Amino acid sequence: MEGCSRKDEVCPQLLDLISKDREWVLKSGEGRSHGSPEEKKLELRLGPPGEDWTIKDNTNNNNYRERDESLRYLRYLSSMASMTHNCSNNNNNSNIINNTTTSCGKRGFLETVERNTGEEGYQVKTQQQQQQTKASFLQFQSSPPVITKESSQPCCTKVVDLQNTEKKAFSPASANTAVPNSSQKRSAPTAVVGWPPIRSFRKNLASSSSSKPANESQDVVPNKIASEKPVEVGKKGLFVKINMDGVPIGRKVDLTAYDSYEKLSSAVDELFRGLLAAQRDSSAGGIQTKHEEEKTITGLLDGSGEYTLVYEDNEGDRVLVGDVPWHMFVNTVKRLRVLKSSELSALCLGSSKQEKAPLDSALK
């Protein structure tokens, strides 16, 4: 009914993505450092499914698919198109645009393949897993490709043809990917942002939880999930707020994107260089030219620069960044601040605990 013309415009793009995907599928078994071990297993296993195909959970079979599956099929086609466009928005800060688009296309393709494979193994229309899982062998509801008149549009037929020719090559892959989902034994939850819809306000979990995942959508009970949580948090990114003296707008940085203090320091420099220049510009009355020279912010870690990077840990102390090994830092940091070096000794707040190195001694 709706938007078929839109689909016509979009379909070519979908087809392009599919052809790219084929290569991506075959390569993906190698060296993907993202994705959980489970998903890696999926990628490598291109053999026939074996008895994993048996339906473990009888509550899900294919009956419901009779209804409206054609419309759903079309919906997916068009939603693939939208998702290729929208895909990346769910990736909070990662910029793997190419992968996300291919993965979305891949998803669409897989979906059509599984529709053909019909009765073999059920697929519940589970998680349209978004890019964050990186491995995009994803599940779709499988349904027989009964296509109504709407899908007799040329573009859709093309896709159907495509899937027919490539079905053989790909059904094992899709079968494999179908399997873990179907048996619900996947241990790595492939979460969608904001689903299930649970508030993420519970940041003060058991004291062992040291990260402050400001944008996490997980809301977990400490006792049960504490052991699993760090893995998920690590994957999704550890966002901490960072404020700079003189700049009213704070930012957030994803600490999992760095593995050393040097990288963090240069990231901070990049983040605030422009803002700082803008502040200077505006505070000077804005008479200067628009693009004032942006000074690099250096010496954040050793006290030699105009600014110094400090952080607040989970006990509320302010500590100079760089004192402890990186991984310890990541585990205890709650918030970052870029302070004027000249004001550091005056700002040595700390708490009643004394064991952290006082800032002024580190400065000397």
Indicate if the alpha-carbon torsion angle 299, 302, 304, 306 is positive or negative: positive
Is residue 312 at the binding interface for other proteins, with CB under 8 A as the rule? Answer: yes
Is residue 282 at the binding interface for other proteins, with CB under 8 A as the rule? Answer: no
- Going residue by residue from 331 to 360, which x/- string records binding to other proteins, judged by CB under 8 A? ---xx-------------x-x---------
Dist CA 122 CA 182 (whole Å): 7
Is residue 146 at the binding interface for other proteins, with CB under 8 A as the rule? Answer: no
- Which residues inside 200-259 make contact with other proteins, applying CB under 8 A? 200-204, 206, 214-225, 232, 241, 249, 252
Is residue 115 at the binding interface for other proteins, with CB under 8 A as the rule? Answer: no
- Residue 215 sits at φ, ψ, to 5 deg, of -115, 20
Nearest approach in angstroms of CB 199 to other proteins is 5
- Going residue by residue from 57 to 96, which x/- string records binding to other proteins, judged by CB under 8 A? --xxxxxx--xx--xx--x--xx-xxx-xx-xx-------
Nearest approach in angstroms of CB 219 to other proteins is 7
- Which residues inside 250-269 make contact with other proteins, applying CB under 8 A? 252
Is residue 290 at the binding interface for other proteins, with CB under 8 A as the rule? Answer: no
Nearest approach in angstroms of CB 165 to other proteins is 27
Nearest to 189 by CA among 246, 228, 224: 228
Contacts 24+ apart (CB under 8 A), 281-285: none
Tokens of 144: 């027989």
Is residue 50 at the binding interface for other proteins, with CB under 8 A as the rule? Answer: no
List Cβ neighbours of 176 (8 Å cut-off, separation of 6 or more). Answer: 42, 45, 46, 47, 49, 52, 137
Indicate if the alpha-carbon torsion angle 251, 34, 203, 129 is positive or negative: positive
Q: How many residues bind other proteins (CB under 8 A)?
A: 76
Is residue 270 at the binding interface for other proteins, with CB under 8 A as the rule? Answer: no
List Cβ neighbours of 325 (8 Å cut-off, separation of 6 or more). Answer: none
